[in-house]
Amino acid sequence: MKTIHKFRLEPGKEPTTLTLKEGYRVVRSEYIVPHKAVYLWVEQPLNVTTPTLERQFRVAYSGEPVPDSFEYLDTALDPFGPEAYHVFAIPAGEEELFNTAPDGASNDAFSRQNWQHTAIS
C-alpha cells in the first residue's frame, strides 16, 4: 500500500529537510493562499519496514540562481500575486553545503532547527 502526505516548504536560501520513505515520489506542489506557503505532496510506501531517508528541497523565486545539480520538480504559482515559487530537490550528498556557514558566520533566524518537516496529512 501507499499514501500521499503533504509537507510545507519554506522559501529562501536554506533548504527544507524532509524524512521520507525510500521509493518516495513527488506528485505535486502548490502555493496555498490562506497559508501564504508552498506545499509539496509526496507519494510514499506505507510499509513500516521501508527504510527512511532525509532529503532536502529548496524553493527559489523566479530569476534566483540555483546550482546546476539541483533537480527541478515543479512550480507553484500565487494566483493573486506576481510570485512564482520553483521547487528543487537537492541531490543526496550535497546536503553538507548547507550544514555550516562559511567563516564562522551564523544566522540564528535560519538555523536548521527552525526548518523541520511537518506532515500535514
What's the pLDDT score for residue 120? 55
Could you tell me the end-to-end alpha-carbon distance of the chain, in angstroms, rounded to an integer? 16
**Mean pLDDT (10-residue bins), the chain, 121 residues:** 96 92 97 95 96 96 94 95 94 65 39 43 49
The Cα–Cα gap between 119 and 104 comes to: 33
pLDDT at 103: 42
Query: Are 115 and 12 a contacting pair, CB within 8 Å?
Result: no
Domain boundaries, the chain: 2-90
Backbone phi, then psi, for 53, in 5-degree steps?
-145, 155
pLDDT in the model for residue 117: 45
